[in-house]
Structure 1
Amino acid sequence: MSLLPVAEAQARLFALAEPVAVETVPLVEAAGRWAAEDVIALRSQPSADLSAMDGYAIRFADLPGPWRVIGESAAGKGFPGSIGAGEAVRIFTGAPLADSADTVLIQEEATRDGIQLTLSVEGPAARGQHVRRAGSDFALDDRLIAAGDRLTPARIGLAAIGGHGALAVRRRLKVALISTGDELVPPGAPITGTQLPSSNAVTLGALLGDLPVDIIEGGIVPDRLDALAAAFDAARHADVIVTTGGASVGDHDLVRPALEAAGATLDFWKIAMKPGKPLMAGRLDAAVTLGLPGNPVSAFATAMLFLRPLIARLGGSSAPLPTVHTATLETTLPETGGRAEFLRGIWASGRVRPAASQDSAALVALASANVLILRPPHAPAAPAGEIVEILPIT
């Protein structure tokens, strides 16, 4: 099977499954998910003309005063009447304007003696000064959030002030994480000989921490066909089954035959990217299977390019692929071969440089990086000062 370009592999991965079912949940539970339908304003905001400052509601035509203060308007409790010529109403931020008032004279611009109010400085320059007009933020029936948009904290607040207490979203996804390898032991466990602490599962769990997923801990599975097939069978009710390790072609790389033994079908295997060539994707019943490399950096890079976008796609995102930015190179990069390269980099003030080590097992370099530098296949050497594409590390 030939190496697939990254973009083609992402498209084929997305084609393996449709977004999951829709449910309606309270706003606090909708945070971090993607809107399953357009969110329409059930009210206008503001619903009336409101004061943007503490001061006095007046008629602009009555400038430069003086005025007689006839009452007060506070947020949630407006002045019940209207104002006439030469009259003013004490008003506070967020309070509705009295009928006939069209401007706010801020308190720093006025001098008050009892009910008498006079202008102490120049005053408002135009009608409507310091007034938030009704519907100036949004109007009844406006679209506030588009289907497929991520429900960020600000959008949750927008939905709330738009009159919603619950939203239609895709349900949370179940993601099974399975680590493979006879050499692995749980993090923090005693180590003997050439054993290795298992880091990929906890790394991927943290990488998915901001997404609407429930992690199913598949544990560490030894390099035995029967053990792997049993692990896949136990995880077949997940939405996504993720393995790390065992996806290459060595005698102990058994993920592919174990998946097939469990009844899975393979869609593609091997990607034209570095690090991360041995990546496989397929289906096991309704679950999407994603086999990531075992080297920690390779697992991280492929998860950034494939696992997170897959979660976003299944969760209903209208733009599941990561956002690419640009930066200016600080140092020269060598030419690339036949695979796209994703270099760990340090990005600051619009400039980027590669991390000291690009070894696929070097976690110190990955931990110090904040971007991946994207280099296309067969690219010539890039000199310092050239603009390159970067992918911020989540």
Structure 2
Amino acid sequence: MISVQEARQRILSSLSALPPEQIFLSSALGRVLAEDVSARCTQPPVAVSAMDGYAVRAADTATVPADLTVIGEAPAGGGFNGVVNPGEAVRIFTGGPVPEGADAVVMQEDTERPDKKSVRIKLAPHEGKFIRPAGLDFSEGETLLRAGKTLNARDIALLAAMNVPWLMVRQRPTVAILATGDEVVMPGEPLGPSQIISSNSLGLAATVEALGCRAQILGIARDTPESLRQMATAAASADFLVTTGGASVGDHDLIQFVLGDEGLKVDFWKIAMRPGKPLIFGQLAGTPMLGLPGNPVSSMVCSLVFLAPALAVLAGKSPDAFERRGRAKLSVDIPENDHREEMLRATLQKGSNGDLLVTPYKKQDSSMLSKLSNADCLLVRPANAPASRAGEEVEIVFFPSSDLSL
């Protein structure tokens, strides 16, 4: 039985980022850049107005009010081809190119039109007022986004402005998910007298999708070598295989026995963690495989601790990309721990002095999904940790949020 840290290290050291692929910008939300991206244009391409108003020479408006002759217009997407000479002004609109000779813009609220041919400037602008110079945002050739960046909505807007219609990104890992056991059926299927609903497949698939990867639910393999062997072959095209159940050494725990004949090379099994002791990691015909326990809480917690960092590496991210740890103060006393690192489902609240308080559920049975669903975090109890008193600081792990952020 190996430690949590050693198990993570063995899993991650065996993996590398998937090859890149080219996609259209419209499909890039949540994807990971495989290469640096530089601007293909200058933004703005020329000096433009930041306001609707009048392009003027600041020297002509040093003393106000000042009456100037209006000699034309400079709309956005168009422009004025002439030159602004002393005593002249050009009607300009937001985004309109600043005409030659003008060095300031007066917004229209600070002007009057005595007649169609003239404008009265009531507020003197300084040189450069309300003018966005060429390249204010970025210049052609400037590298603005780096490889490894997970693209959010703001990045998509920037890339569009950079005139980048396609991107090289890391492939999204495809994760095949295979539940096992005669005792489980999918939601909505008829239940036998001793059967239960299989929650693992759907919970794991949702975890995989929330982490920006693709989930492929293979179904439920029954407790026969033939069924397991046949269904496992469907994972050949996946980048990662996850099984649930059958990871221990009981008569009906067939993962190692059956898949060993199909080329499964086991790196380790059994880890010093609660929940999640019977965990398998290896390679099945070249595909990384993680054999999770059948208990639903064990399965979900192990997916956060081991599967999430593995998928981060495959997607070209840092192993801890999906993990956020913190500190909180215990609201209750907790007993000493044994030789297994423990992940306790817990709730969080603010104390009267603003401290973050963590309260573990009294019942931590690994079959109780309701406690996992209502938990705010996992409270980490190191192996052989002594008893802790209320008020002591402990480590907590927040549940990862979706990658598709603004």
The reply to whether residue 98 of structure 1 matches residue 99 of structure 2 is yes
Q: Secondary structure of the equivalent of 1:343?
A: strand
The residue type paired with residue 30 of structure 1 is A
Q: Secondary structure at the match of 1:344?
A: strand
TM-aligned CA distance change 1:98 to 1:191, over 3 Å: same
1:195-210, aligned counterparts within 5 Å? 195-210=195-210
Unaligned runs of 5+ in 1: none
The answer (yes or no) to whether the contact 1:16–1:282 under 8 Å persists in 2 is no
Q: Structure 1 175/71 Cα, relative in aligned 2: closer, same or farther at 3 Å?
A: same
Equivalent-residue separation in structure 2 for 1:130 and 1:341 (angstroms)? 60
Distance 1:61 1:290, change over 3 A: farther
Match of 1:166 in 2: 166
Specify whether residues 233 and 330 from structure 1 end up closer, same or farther in structure 2 by C-alpha distance, changes over 3 A only.
same
Distance 1:217 1:109, change over 3 A: same
2: CA distance, partners of 1:89 / 1:346: 64
Shift of 1:319: 5.2
- 2:330–2:389 CA contact under 8 A, matched in 1: no
- AA at the equivalent of 1:338: H
- Identify if the C-alpha distance between structure 1 residues 134 and 301 changes in structure 2 by more than 3 Å, giving closer, same or farther: farther
Q: Which residue of 1 aligns with 2:404?
A: none
Q: Structure 1 141/190 Cα, relative in aligned 2: closer, same or farther at 3 Å?
A: same
Q: Identity of counterpart residues, as a percentage?
A: 40
Which residue of 2 is the match for residue 226 of structure 1? 226
After TM superposition, the structure 1 = structure 2 runs for residues 290-305 of structure 1, keeping only pairs within 5 Å, are: 290-305=290-305
Matches within 5 A, 1:101-140: 101-113=102-114, 114-120=116-122, 122=123, 124=125, 126-140=126-140
What are the residue-to-residue correspondences of 1:229-378 with 2, within 5 Å? 229-318=229-318, 321-329=321-329, 331-332=331-332, 334=334, 335-347=336-348, 351-354=356-359, 356=361, 357-378=363-384
* Aligned AA (2:197): P
Partner SS for 1:99:
coil
Deviation at 1:333, TM superposition (A): 5.6
Of residues 275-284 and 58-67 in structure 1, the stretch that sits farther from structure 2 once superposed is 58-67
Note the alpha carbon deviations across 1:54-93, whole angstroms, 9 max, x for none: 3333333333442333222222222223323333332222
130 and 177 in structure 1: CA distance in 2 versus 1, 3 angstrom threshold? same
Q: Using a 3 Å threshold, how does the CA distance of structure 1 residues 19 and 89 change in structure 2: closer, same or farther?
A: same
* Code of the aligned partner of 2:377: V
Q: Deviations over 1:300-343 (max 9, x none)?
A: 12212222322221122245542424354361362544333333
Check 1:339–1:137 CA distance in 2 against 1; reply closer, same or farther (3 A cut). farther
**Count of residue pairs the alignment pairs up:** 390
The match for 2:46 is 48
**Residue of structure 2 in register with 1:80 after alignment:** 81
Q: Could you tell which deviates more after superposition, 95-104 or 284-293?
A: 95-104
Query: What CA distance in whole angstroms lies between the structure 2 residues aligned with 1:235 and 1:243?
Result: 10
Aligned to 1:5: 4
The structural deviation recorded for 1:41 is: 1.5
Q: Which of structures 1 and 2 has the bigger CA Rg?
A: 2
Separation of aligned partners in 1, 2:303 and 2:160: 34
Aligned partner of residue 9 in structure 1, secondary structure: helix
Cα pair 2:323 2:400 within 8 Å, conserved: no
Moved more, 366-375 or 309-318: 366-375
Report the secondary structure of 2:373's partner residue: helix
